[in-house]
Chain A
C-alpha cells in the first residue's frame, strides 16, 4: 500500500506541470487573441518569388 505515496507524489508533479503550462499560456498572451491563430495556421509558408 505504501506505493500509493509514490503515486500521489507523481500525480501531483504531473498536475503541477499542467498548471505551469497553463500559466505559461496565459502569460504568453494566448488568451488575448483566440481567433487569429486559427487563420494563421492555414497559410503556406513557402515563399514564391516572381
Chain B
C-alpha cells in the first residue's frame, strides 16, 4: 500500500433526502442529488404534493432507501386479518395504528401528520414519537389498509407488522387509574390542609366552636375518599396478605391508615378534637407519588415479547402456481409457501427446492448457515439466506417446534419473580410485630391509670409508627436508580429487578452476539498486490451476497474498476474480468477463496470478535461471581474461552435452547441465584428461567426476547460498573431506614406518653417522608457519580 487510493478532501455529494454519500453519477444533479432511485422518488413525491417542508425542519431527514425491500401488504385487506389489525371500524371510518421503527426526528412527525396530502382517504394521522407509532383514521371507501401500508413503505417508513399485533386482544395502555387516584388525593389533601390551617393558627374550640366543628366535619367528608378510594389498594393488599399468612409492608401501612382515620373520625364526631386527617392525606399522597415515581416506562422497549413479535404476519402461499400473501394464522399443513432471502420460515416444513442455506441463529445460536438438501425438514424460526425456496408445510404455525418450546412451562409467567419488594416486606414484618408489642405495652401501662389516656396513647403509637418512610424509601431510591441506569442506556423492567440483581451469585453469558460481536470479523489469509486488491474489491461490490458485501466493506478504500464478463454461480461464487485478469471469488475449503487467473491467492475467513472491554469485565466478574458460558455454537477456540472464563468446566457449548434452560434450572437447584445475559431467541428460555434475564442489543428498537432488562452495547462495556452501582444502591436504602428509625423513636417517645398532638403528627410525618425522598434521590445520584458511572451516553434517548 504505497499509493493513497483516494484523493483526500474530495467533496462528498450528500443525498438530498437521506444525507448519505452519492456514488451513482446519473443521480447527481446541480440542486438535488440522490444516493439511490428510491430517495429520488420520495423527494419528488413530496415536492409534488406540497410537502417540501419536510426538508426544512431538519437537514436530510430521510433514511436511505437503498436497502428497502419490496413488500406486499395485500394480506392486510383480508377481512379476517383486517378485523384483528384495526383498532376500530364502523364500515365507513377505520382507526388503525402502525409501528414505524424508522421514526427518528421532527421532520418524520411533520410528514407523517400530513399524510392526508398524499392519500386523500386518510383523514387524520397522529404520531406518538416515543412509541414510534402513527395513529390513523381513514375512510374505508377511499383507501385501504394495504394502500396506506404501501404508502408508508414507499416514503421510507416501512411499518413493522408482526404476528403479535394480530393476536393481542387489547392495545397496551398505561394505567390511568393511578393518575386519577393522584388527582383525587391531591385535591382532597389540599382541601384538608385548607381546613386544618385555622387550627394550626389557634382557632379556639370554645370561642369559634361552629367553625371548628364545621371544618372538622368537612375534613371527615374529605377523609372518606382518602381511605376508600386512594388508600384502598393498601388495605386490600394487607388483607390478602393476612389471609395467606403473610405480614407484608402494606399491613403496617393499613394499620396506620385505619388508626389515623378511626381516631380522627372519633374525635370529630365526639367533638373532642380536630383529628389527624391532614397527616392521613399527606401519607397517602406521598405513597401514591412514590408509586408513580417508581413506574418508569420506556415506551419503545417491550419486556414481554414472545415468538409472535418475531414472526411476520403473512407468508407467500402458492395457490394455483400463484403467490398469494396469506395470514400466518390461516396456514395449514400441506400448504406450499415461498420463502425468500432473509425471510423467516414461519412453520415446520419440508424443503421442495434443491437446496437451501438456513440460518438458525435465532433458534440455536449457531451462527453459520446450515446447508439443507431437498426433502429435509426445516424448522420454524430459521432464516433462508440466498435464493427463494419452496417449502411444503408439515405443521401449522402454532404446532411448530419453536412455538411448542415457547409454550412449555418455563415460559409461563414467573409469578414468584414478580412479587413486591422483598426487602420492604421483610422489614414490614418485623416492623408490624414491634409496633404491635409497643402499642400493647403502652395500652397495658396506661389502662390501670387512665382509660381515656390509654386509648389515646395506644392509637397514637399506631399512628406515629406508620412506616411511610420504609414504604417510600424503595420507590424513590430504586425509581431513581432506574432513571440513572436509563441514562447510561441500561433499561430495567422495574424496581424488583434491582433487588434481584443484588442477590445474584452466578452470571451466565451467551456467546454469539453477547460476548462477541454479532458480525464475525473478516480476516484475510494470503497476499494480494494493490492491483489485485482493486480487482477483488470491484468484483465483490458487484454482488449482493452477504459475504461479497463483507469483502467489499473489508477492502474499502480500494479503487473501483470496470468489471466485464461478470458471472454469478449461486451458492458457489462470482467471477469477472478486471484489467485483463480473471478474478474468481468463491467457496473454498478454508473459507472464501480468491483465485486470480486460476491461481489461489488466499482466502477470507471469519473469527468471532470479542466485544470491547469484555476481557476486563470477565476478569472482574470472576472475582465476585461464578461465571459460565452457555452457547449453542461449536467451540471453535477452546483455549481462548477457557482462559477468559478460568477453566473448561465453565464452558458449555452445543446447547440447544432447551438445554440452556435446563442448565439454568440445574444451577438454581444447587442454590445459585442466576443472571443470564443473552441476546437472541435461542436464549429466550434461559432468560425466562434465570432470576434475572438481561438482553444485550445493538439498537434498542430491535426486537429482543422477553427479559428483565435491556442493555445497549455501549452500556454493556461498563457492565461491572452497572452491577456495582446496583449492588451498592441498597446502602442508600439502609441509611434511609436508619433515618426512619430515628424519626420513629422521637415520635414514639411522645406517643407512649399520650402527648401526641395533631400538630406534632402533621409536622413529623411529612418531615420524615420528605427527608427519606430527598435522601433516596440524592443518594442514588451521588453513588452514580462516585462510581463514575457514565450517564452521558444519551443524546436522542433522553426522551425515552
Contacts and interface: CB of A to CB of B under 8 A. Distances in A.
Interface of A: 1, 4, 8, 11-12, 15-16, 18-19, 22-23, 26-27, 31-36, 39-40, 42-44, 47-50
B68 interface: no
Contacts of A43: 53, 57, 110, 113
Given A4-B211, A35-B129, A50 B179 contact: no
A11 B50 contact: no
A8 B211 CA distance: 11
B387 interface: no
A15 B180 contact: no
Nearest to A30: B179
A26 B180 contact: yes
Interface in B83-115: 106, 109-110, 113
Contacts of B52: 48, 50
Contacts of B183: 19, 22-23, 26
A32 B133 CA distance: 12
A32 B128 contact: yes
B141 to A, nearest CB: 25
Q: DSSP majority for the B interface? A: helix
B189 to A, nearest CB: 11
B130 A35 contact: yes
A31 B190 CA distance: 22
Contact of A48 (B53, B126, B179, B180): B53
A18 B191 CA distance: 13
Nearest to A18: B187
B176 interface: yes
Interface in B40-92: 47-48, 50, 52-53, 57
B244 interface: no
B109 A31 contact: no
Contacts, number: 61
B191 A15 contact: yes
Interface string B167-210: 00000011010011001100100110010000000000000000
B590 interface: no
B711 interface: no
A42 B56 CA distance: 12
Nearest to A16: B187
Contact of A36 (B130, B180, B194, B218): B130
Nearest to A42: B106
Contacts of A33: 128-131
Contacts of B47: 50
B127 interface: yes
B3 interface: no
A45 B179 CA distance: 33
Contact of A12 (B110, B128, B191, B211): B191
Contacts of A19: 183-184, 187
A23 B177 CA distance: 10
Contacts of B174: 31-32
Nearest to B799: A35
13 contacts: A1-B211, A15-B187, A15-B190, A22-B183, A23-B180, A23-B183, A27-B176, A32-B174, A33-B130, A36-B127, A39-B106, A50-B50, A50-B52
A48 B130 CA distance: 28
Nearest to A43: B110
Interface string B599-627: 00000000000000000000000000000
Contacts of B131: 33
B301 to A, nearest CB: 15
Given A11-B194, A26-B183, A40-B113, A50 B127 contact: no
A48 B114 CA distance: 12
Contacts of B179: 26, 31
Contacts of A4: 211
Instruction: With a 10 A CB-CB cut-off, give which of A11, A18, A35, A49 has the most chain B CB atoms.
Output: A35
A39 B109 contact: yes
Nearest to A12: B191
Contact of B50 (A8, A15, A44, A48): A48
A27 B173 CA distance: 12
A49 B53 CA distance: 10
Contacts of B128: 32-33, 36
Contacts of A26: 176, 179-180, 183
